[in-house]
Structure 1
Amino acid sequence: MSSPLFTDLYQLTMMQGYWKHGLHTQEAVFDLYFRKLPYRGGFAVWAGLGPALEMLETLHFGDADLSYLDTLGLFQPAFLDALRGWKFSARVTAFPEGSAVFPHEPLLTVRGPLWEAQLVETALLNTLNFQTLVATKAARCVLAAEASPHGGQVIEFGARRAQGPDGALSAARAAFVGGAVGTSDVEAARRFGLPAVGTHAHAWVESFPDELTAFRAYAELYPDSTTLLLDTVDTLRSGLPNALTVARELRERGHELRGVRLDSGDLAYLSCRIRSAFDEADFRDVKIVASNDLSESVIASVIAEGGRVDTYGVGTQLVTAGGEGGGALGGVFKLASLGGVPRMKLTGEPGKSSLPGEKRVWRGTDDEGLYALDALTLGDVPRAGDRVSDPTNPLRFSRLSEGLTWHEAHALVMEGGKRTVPGEALPTVQLRARAELARLPAGTRRPLNPHLYRVGLGDDVAALREQVAEGLRAHTKA
């Protein structure tokens, strides 16, 4: 069960204000979106929807919550009494989890009583911003690993570097959505049904009289799942020959060494030497795992230099969503309509203005099955020849070409505060993410200087924005 107090204080003080002025039951429409892609990339992977919907469906104020709010001295007894029967009852539409998403388009829309939508802003942004950021980072790492002519995969190795236990669990889930094949975090594996993976630490080797004794002891305990860490003493002069010895001894007993891990040094050079040694000794199925502060750029560099790594254990950079342009997604939750009247944030910075009205999101597919662009309208499906404009620059526009097939990108996921479809298994979400990325133009998937996928405003949305903005400007002049 989620806590309704996992929110910013001003959400609660505004709720009381809405209630006091009789605004709280007015129907509001809020859009959740972001303005800028992370990592200077060409796409983001939408993640965290499942936990967000679970949170909304179970949200209510218990006696302990109301007793604590009473101690703050900010809330009237009658308001706290009103919260006693409060529950989330709104309608929610969203991109299916795992979708490829882009700036300035609503990723999730809440329509319901004003005070309900206001309360859940913080929790929604917390869940969806972080998991989308990590899933995007994971997808970038996976795309880099899979670019190897020998293939490659990614596992999440970052629990010890995550921002607390909650951050570690959320990151493990999101990394799987983005394409990671497993996690070292056992609780995350249990909770989300993920493959639990791991090797051993340098401390294991250091706890025995010598490295070979340590390797033998581990292999004896786990004869069918042993991956040996090679760099405690010397990777090529000690770790590699000792691992080969253990591989031969395992085979003599009817077992096979699963893999070896590199955690330092020149990963491209070392992995090549190790691959050659195991292949020459007829252990071609032994996998090489690499770790050591990896990122998509490091993975790409290892591959470009001829490295032979099979699996990349990505830790710090993944769970902290690090790297240039990372760290935070910057998603926002903005009021688009209240009581049927379009609303917008105009602001003095055009790029931060919001889009008024309840919008529909359409995705156009070309005749090769690739995604071509997204369009926002107030209703009708886009048609060839329609004009769409840049959300950040109304003077930049184009006409929709022939040959595009359109489908509505949002699905109804909650009605009356209840989920309309059962929660999806994470492997299903991961498969969707992989399929979505495969349908993006190749240039959009490029890690550096990607082709920018277009999101355009239909003329009806652009006209409404100008109309509402003009009204706000007229009011300030008055």
Structure 2
Amino acid sequence: MSNATSTDLYEVTMAQSYLCEGMTASATFSLFVRDLPPDRGFLVCAGLDSVLDFLSAYRVDAEDVDVFASVLKRRPEDLAPLLGLEFSGEVRAVPEGHIVLAGEPLLEITASLPQAQLVETYVLNLLSHQTAIASKCARCVLAAEGHPVVDFSLRRTHGIEAGHRAARLGAMVGFAGTSNVEAAHAEGLTAVGTMAHSYIEAFGTEEDAFRAFARSHPGPVTFLVDTYDTVAGVATAARVLRDLGLGPGCAIRLDSGDLGALAVQARAGLDAAGLQETRIVASGGLDEFAVDRLVRSGAPIDTYAVGTRIGVCADAPYLDSAYKLVEYDGRPVMKLSSAKVTAPGRKQVFRRPGYADLMSLIDEQPPPNSVPLLESVMREGRRVSKPTELETARQRFFADLAALPPEARTIRAPTAPKAELSGRLASLAADVRRYIEKNLLGDAHGTA
């Protein structure tokens, strides 16, 4: 059985109806985020390679049809029109790592209407989740102001695959490492880690634990110092590091309490012991807001380890993303529901200096000093290029970040740039609205 059954039921019922009605002409769906979550000045586009992998392998086989029939309580032969359906369409998308704004298409799919409809749920899931996590990680990098940030999220992400993606996405936007062994190996990342409180508790004394760990791991070590009393733990760690000559490259880790105040005390204790090069790592419920406060307070923390709140994007765990039909059989269409109006037609987004983005129709000429964001990434159901290298996406992100207005980069209450519509796109939207109101809503409004 393929991933075809990982979908919402209405995708199946609509596709079945389209096929029965012979509605198989070309359709374009646009995927975008309506509004940014609170305290967001931008989004980082992520998940495109996952989408293309899914679409490349998409096929409804006999087992899938059996599942559809079972949940619909119908005979498999009733769902026969779906059998063998594959994705053979076109995808235009914003390459991974680019910064995008609210309302801008992250991706547009053009395919036979049943094909484009059936893949909606899976595509939305992949892009929405990874874009949310990448954006959260990017804000941590901004908050840290040059201090290394590492990923400790695996144990509390919503699934192991989500943990792998969080590690990769963190690296894409500048994280220095991850505790996730599998992701570090698969993605070529730096693996980082220390010890748990259980390790300390298993020994008779804290010092016994530190010395045992150093014997097993003679390279640079990081000692967790807050199992019992943090100040005393720092003193013990300093003594062991100094006795064993392990200062340079080593670190202590603070995982609880007032991290800012404890970091000041720890730094003083380490310096007094002649361990000026020993770093301080902070962890424990950190996200970009906490990191921002600590950095602004001047806390002498060298590395920030972020985990739970990043891996689940705790303050904004979802995006207001949508996948909407914008054209069918050459006819532009749009939704008029209150607060959910969509723009019709296939589109392009042109980035102008200062993020004065212009959203236009696909065949419009680029304005001066602009670059198009959406690129052709799949034609006839096949990729047109190799998967994006992580380093390529990272370079793309940092180039975009450098040009982002300062007011969009702030951690609290940022001001997000807003894309504007081209004259042609605005005119088309007005024409389609008038058509709908005149020809489709006339009776509802009591007019001829």
Aligned position for 1:395: none
1:240/1:75 CA distance change after superposition, 3 Å? same
Q: CA deviation at 1:222?
A: 1.0
- 1:60/1:86 contact within 8 Å kept: yes
1:225/1:116 CA distance change after superposition, 3 Å? farther
Q: Matches of residues 294-313 of structure 1 in structure 2 within 5 Å?
A: 294-313=286-305
Aligned position for 1:390: none
Cα shift readout 1:263-305 (whole Å, capped 9, x = no counterpart): 0111112212222333343433322111111111111111222
Q: CA deviation at 1:32?
A: 0.2
Cα shift readout 1:419-447 (whole Å, capped 9, x = no counterpart): 11101222321222122111111111112
Question: What amino acid is the match of 1:18?
Answer: Y
- Structure 2 distance, partners of 1:228, 1:174, is 27
Aligned position for 1:387: none
Secondary structure of the structure 2 residue equivalent to 1:129: helix
- Structure 2 distance, partners of 1:46, 1:217, is 45
Q: 2:203 aligns with which of 208, 212, 215?
A: 208
Secondary structure of the structure 1 residue equivalent to 2:357: strand
Q: 2:336 aligns with which of 336, 346, 365?
A: 346
Q: 1:333 aligns with which of 293, 309, 323?
A: 323
Aligned position for 2:179: 184
Question: What amino acid is the match of 1:354?
Answer: T
Q: List 4+ stretches of structure 1 deviating above 6 A.
A: none
Question: What amino acid is the match of 2:442?
Answer: K
Asked if residue 246 in structure 1 is aligned to residue 240 in structure 2, the reply is yes
Aligned position for 1:476: 441
Q: CA deviation at 1:256?
A: 4.5
Asked if residue 314 in structure 1 is aligned to residue 313 in structure 2, the reply is no
Q: Matches of residues 90-169 of structure 1 in structure 2 within 5 Å?
A: 90-146=89-145, 151-169=146-164
Aligned position for 2:379: 415
- 1:47/1:177 contact within 8 Å kept: no
TM-score by length of 1: 0.88
Aligned position for 1:230: 225
Secondary structure of the structure 2 residue equivalent to 1:11: helix
Question: What amino acid is the match of 1:381?
Answer: Q
Aligned position for 2:191: 196
- 2:348/2:374 contact within 8 Å kept: yes
Question: What amino acid is the match of 1:343?
Answer: V
Cα shift readout 1:169-212 (whole Å, capped 9, x = no counterpart): 33223333233222212233233333221110000000000000
- Structure 2 distance, partners of 1:310, 1:59, is 46
Cα shift readout 1:394-443 (whole Å, capped 9, x = no counterpart): xxxxxxxxxx5111111111111111110122232122212211111111
Asked if residue 278 in structure 1 is aligned to residue 270 in structure 2, the reply is yes
1:174/1:79 CA distance change after superposition, 3 Å? farther
Aligned length: 442
Q: CA deviation at 1:131?
A: 0.8
Secondary structure of the structure 1 residue equivalent to 2:64: helix
Secondary structure of the structure 2 residue equivalent to 1:4: helix
Asked if residue 219 in structure 1 is aligned to residue 214 in structure 2, the reply is yes
- 2:153/2:310 contact within 8 Å kept: yes
Q: CA deviation at 1:65?
A: 2.2
- Structure 1 distance, partners of 2:210, 2:132, is 38
- 1:89/1:418 contact within 8 Å kept: yes
Cα shift readout 1:36-93 (whole Å, capped 9, x = no counterpart): 1123321111111111111111122234323323333455645644433221111001
In terms of mean alpha carbon deviation, does 303-312 or 426-435 score higher? 426-435
Secondary structure of the structure 2 residue equivalent to 1:360: strand
In terms of mean alpha carbon deviation, does 57-66 or 6-15 score higher? 57-66
Percent sequence identity over aligned pairs: 38
Aligned position for 1:388: none
- 1:360/1:408 contact within 8 Å kept: yes
- 2:93/2:376 contact within 8 Å kept: yes
- Structure 2 distance, partners of 1:270, 1:342, is 61
Aligned position for 1:49: 48
Question: What amino acid is the match of 2:406?
Answer: A
Cα shift readout 1:329-359 (whole Å, capped 9, x = no counterpart): 1210000000000011111x1x311110111
Q: Matches of residues 369-380 of structure 1 in structure 2 within 5 Å?
A: 370-380=354-364
Q: Matches of residues 421-436 of structure 1 in structure 2 within 5 Å?
A: 421-436=385-400
Question: What amino acid is the match of 1:229?
Answer: L
- 1:247/1:256 contact within 8 Å kept: no
Q: 1:260 aligns with which of 247, 252, 255?
A: 252
Structure 2: segments with no counterpart, 5+ residues: 444-448
Secondary structure of the structure 2 residue equivalent to 1:40: coil
1:264/1:77 CA distance change after superposition, 3 Å? closer
Aligned position for 1:397: none
Question: What amino acid is the match of 2:18?
Answer: Y
- 1:337/1:356 contact within 8 Å kept: yes
- Structure 1 distance, partners of 2:57, 2:223, is 45
Secondary structure of the structure 2 residue equivalent to 1:413: strand
Cα shift readout 1:141-188 (whole Å, capped 9, x = no counterpart): 110001xxxx41211111222222233233223333233222212233
Question: What amino acid is the match of 1:5?
Answer: T
- 1:142/1:180 contact within 8 Å kept: yes
1:125/1:213 CA distance change after superposition, 3 Å? same
1:169/1:341 CA distance change after superposition, 3 Å? same
Aligned position for 1:393: none
TM-score by length of 2: 0.94
Q: 1:170 aligns with which of 160, 165, 173?
A: 165
1:218/1:21 CA distance change after superposition, 3 Å? same
- 1:48/1:174 contact within 8 Å kept: no
Q: 1:292 aligns with which of 284, 289, 302?
A: 284
- Structure 2 distance, partners of 1:93, 1:2, is 24
- Structure 2 distance, partners of 1:263, 1:76, is 57
